[in-house]
């Protein structure tokens, strides 16, 4: 029996891509995982979650275990709405769809708006799992380079203008991570955010604004593109993974109701009501503003540590962007193919994500790697950068 006969055209096309998660081989236990885009273990509030679950079950009995029923589920939407209003995004609860993580939001948007021949604009580089999802639905991408001020919207404008003049297909969606970008750590300037909105209106496309790291700024709080979206062209994605716990799998999409309503056709009840009720219970008992402030301080300090280690051990062989928030620093090591030395680096005791996985055109990312400063302790971070520098120097001297 040939399973191929049973797959849809879309599935067959998707299966031509690498399997999910292919970008990272298993990391041995002895390795310091600078590859991990996870919150620090000490910052996952497991004691408070324990209390939240107990309060939830004590008070609501069987309800959180039903398909629907826990009052606390509504707390999540209410919290999201109030927090977005504080960040300048004014919307109604019906304009928010709670999802199983931001990644389900990306998948639902892709299913709803992308046909196999749809053209999607992505940043170069971009979040590798986002790319994986889009590739499940289309093979057609326009890539726009990033610099220290985020997506180069001037380049996007040139491309759009040129395509229009030549009567070529135009993109329907632009996917951007404007604040504390994964993997580069950069933030899009306010002028470019405005410019992108102008382009969306002129060339008639939707913007997917992925703000998974938006709360984790070090000094200046960026204004979401959604806060300036007078034409309602932005589908805004948020997540509780980076600020509370990724295992809960709770995120959301916020957009004009007639844009997000169709997503519910595909979401059905494939989110996690028990996790949402637990999160609701946790949100009721937690001062989230204080928590966000605490997280910002810890991650800012972690970032300082990794940057000073890079300066100390790799200052002469590598360059990087200074992150102003988020989890990651993006390092360029000219003359090194970071995929080729990953196994050796892991044997020496450090892992990272090779740059090529963040690009539609992999060869553009060969000399880059992404280091995370969120997960491991500061002491481990310093030793990991030292180990990495030794592996790299050995190859540069060959
Ligand atoms: C830019 C970006 N978007 C979305 C996600 C996924 O978030 P979630 O855990 O809510 O699915 C991540 C996680 O790494 C991310 O970096």
Read off the pLDDT of residues 15-65 as tens digits, 9 standing for 90 and up.
999 998 887 888 999 999 999 999 999 999 999 999 999 999 999 999 999
Q: How far is the CA of 103 from the centre of ligand 1 (A)?
A: 6
Do 311 and 261 sit in the same domain of this protein?
A: no
Do 150 and 294 sit in the same domain of this protein?
A: no
Do 227 and 144 sit in the same domain of this protein?
A: yes
Q: How far is the CA of 171 from the centre of ligand 1 (A)?
A: 23
Do 62 and 38 sit in the same domain of this protein?
A: no
Read off the pLDDT of residues 161-171 as tens digits, 9 standing for 90 and up.
999 999 999 99
Q: Are 56 and 281 in contact (CB under 8 A)?
A: yes
63 CB burial (10 A radius; 0-12, 13-18, 19+): middle
Q: What is the DSSP string of 64-100?
A: GGSSS--THHHHHHHHHHHHHHHTT----GGGEEEES
Of the residues 285, 313, 334, the one at which a domain ends: 285
CATH number where 360 lies: 3.90.1150.10
Which pLDDT score is estimated for 355? 97
**For ligand 1, atom 3, which residue shows the shortest CA distance?**
212
Do 266 and 305 sit in the same domain of this protein?
A: no
Question: Would the CB of 246 count as within 6 Å of ligand 1?
Answer: yes
Ligand 1 pocket test: pick from 99, 128, 209, 242 the residue with the most ligand atoms within 8 Å of its Cβ.
Answer: 242
Do 172 and 259 sit in the same domain of this protein?
A: yes
Q: What's the domain range around 226?
A: 46-285
| CA end-to-end distance (rounded Å), the chain | 51
Q: How far is the CA of 155 from the centre of ligand 1 (A)?
A: 26
Q: How far is the CA of 106 from the centre of ligand 1 (A)?
A: 9
Q: How many CB atoms lie within 10 A of CB 364?
A: 16
Interhelix angle 288-314/378-396, nearest 10 degrees: 30
Do 22 and 125 sit in the same domain of this protein?
A: no
Read off the pLDDT of residues 200-247 as tens digits, 9 standing for 90 and up.
999 999 999 999 999 999 999 999 999 999 999 999 999 999 999 999
The Cα–Cα gap between 31 and 66 comes to 41
Which pLDDT score is estimated for 21? 83
pTM beyond 0.85: the answer is yes
The Cα–Cα gap between 63 and 279 comes to 15
Q: CB neighbours of 70 closer than 8 A, spacing ≥ 6?
A: 56, 60, 63, 64, 273, 276, 277, 280
Residue 13: closest CA among 134, 190, 157: 134
**For ligand 1, atom 15, which residue shows the shortest CA distance?**
212
CATH number where 175 lies: 3.40.640.10
Which pLDDT score is estimated for 39? 98
Q: How far is the CA of 39 from the centre of ligand 1 (A)?
A: 12
Of the residues 250, 285, 320, the one at which a domain ends: 285
The Cα–Cα gap between 247 and 388 comes to 29
Q: CB neighbours of 355 closer than 8 A, spacing ≥ 6?
A: 125, 183, 330, 332, 338, 365, 366, 367, 368, 369, 370
Residue 82: closest CA among 294, 297, 225, 288: 288
Tokens linked to 101: 């993580």
Read off the pLDDT of residues 330-355 as tens digits, 9 standing for 90 and up.
999 999 999 999 999 999 999 999 99
Secondary structure (3-state) at 32: strand
Domain count, the chain: 2
């Amino acid at each position: 029996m040939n399973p191929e006969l049973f797959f849809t055209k879309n599935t067959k096309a998707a299966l031509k891509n690498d399997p999910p998660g292919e970008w990272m081989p298993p990391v041995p236990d002895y390795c310091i995982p600078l590859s991990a885009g996870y919150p620090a273990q000490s910052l996952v509030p497991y004691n408070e979650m324990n209390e939240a679950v107990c309060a939830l079950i004590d008070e609501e009995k069987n309800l959180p275990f039903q398909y629907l029923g826990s009052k606390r589920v509504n707390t999540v939407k209410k919290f999201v709405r109030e927090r977005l209003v504080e960040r300048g995004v004014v919307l109604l609860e019906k304009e928010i769809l709670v999802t199983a993580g931001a990644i389900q939001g990306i998948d639902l948007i892709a299913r709803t708006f992308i046909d196999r021949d749809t053209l999607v604009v992505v940043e170069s580089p971009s979040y590798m799992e986002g790319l994986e999802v889009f590739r499940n639905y289309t093979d057609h991408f326009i890539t726009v380079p990033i610099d220290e001020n985020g997506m180069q919207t001037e380049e996007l404008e040139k491309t759009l203008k040129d395509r229009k003049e030549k009567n070529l297909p135009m993109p329907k969606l632009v996917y951007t991570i404007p604040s504390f970008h994964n993997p580069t750590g950069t933030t899009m300037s306010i002028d470019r955010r405005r410019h992108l909105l102008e382009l969306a209106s002129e060339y008639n496309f939707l913007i997917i604004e992925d703000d998974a790291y938006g709360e984790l700024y070090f000094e200046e709080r960026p204004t979401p593109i959604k806060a300036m979206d007078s034409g309602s062209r932005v589908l805004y994605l948020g997540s509780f993974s980076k600020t509370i716990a990724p295992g809960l799998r709770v995120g959301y999409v916020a957009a004009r109701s007639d844009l997000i309503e169709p997503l519910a056709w595909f979401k059905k009840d494939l989110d996690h009501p028990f996790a949402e009720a637990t999160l609701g219970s946790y949100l009721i008992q937690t001062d989230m503003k204080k928590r966000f402030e605490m997280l910002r301080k810890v991650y800012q300090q972690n970032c300082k540590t990794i940057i000073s280690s890079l300066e100390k051990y790799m200052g002469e062989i590598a360059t990087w962007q200074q992150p102003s928030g988020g989890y990651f620093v993006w390092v360029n090591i000219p003359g090194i193919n970071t995929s080729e030395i990953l196994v050796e680096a892991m044997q020496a005791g450090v892992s990272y994500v090779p740059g090529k996985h963040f690009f539609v055109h992999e060869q553009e990312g060969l000399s880059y790697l992404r280091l995370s400063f969120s997960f491991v302790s500061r002491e481990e971070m310093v030793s990991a950068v030292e180990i990495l520098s030794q592996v790299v120097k050995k190859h540069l001297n060959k």
